[in-house]
Amino acid sequence: MTIVPTPIENSALSNSRRPTSGLAVAAVVLAFVLPLAGVALGFVARSRIRRTGEAGSALAATAITVGVILVAFAMGVIGFAAYRLATTGRLMT
């Protein structure tokens, strides 16, 4: 009797991983460089990931989160500068 090895499916040795979304990776990079673009691309990546089944949903969510935090920080800095300029007439002491 001959023993025939069966193909390995759904194990750590198989190469059946889902590809990571390139849009999600680009969204994370853009979130640090151009936060608004990173947020927009993050939403586009999440919708495409849901439609195609690619991996990278967490990357897209990270891009959205980082982008929103950086935009909020930039708005706070600009708001503080505008307040300081309006109340004292100068930005620095």
pLDDT tens across the length of the chain (93 residues) = 677 766 555 555 555 688 999 999 999 999 999 999 999 999 999 999 999 999 999 999 999 999 999 999 999 999 999 999 999 998 887
Ranges of beta strands (E only) in 1-93 are none
For residues 13 and 24, the answer to whether their CB atoms sit within 8 Å is: no
Instruction: Report if residue 63 sits inside a domain.
Output: yes
Instruction: Report if residue 16 sits inside a domain.
Output: no
Instruction: Report if residue 9 sits inside a domain.
Output: no
Q: What is the pTM of this model?
A: 0.78
Instruction: Report if residue 3 sits inside a domain.
Output: no
For residues 54 and 44, the answer to whether their CB atoms sit within 8 Å is: no
Counted domains in the chain: 1
The parent domain of residue 28 ranges over 22-88
Cα(39)–Cα(27) distance, rounded to whole angstroms? Answer: 7
Where would I find the H helices in 34-56?
A: 35-52
Instruction: Report if residue 52 sits inside a domain.
Output: yes
> 50: which 2 tokens?
């849901």
Instruction: Report if residue 80 sits inside a domain.
Output: yes
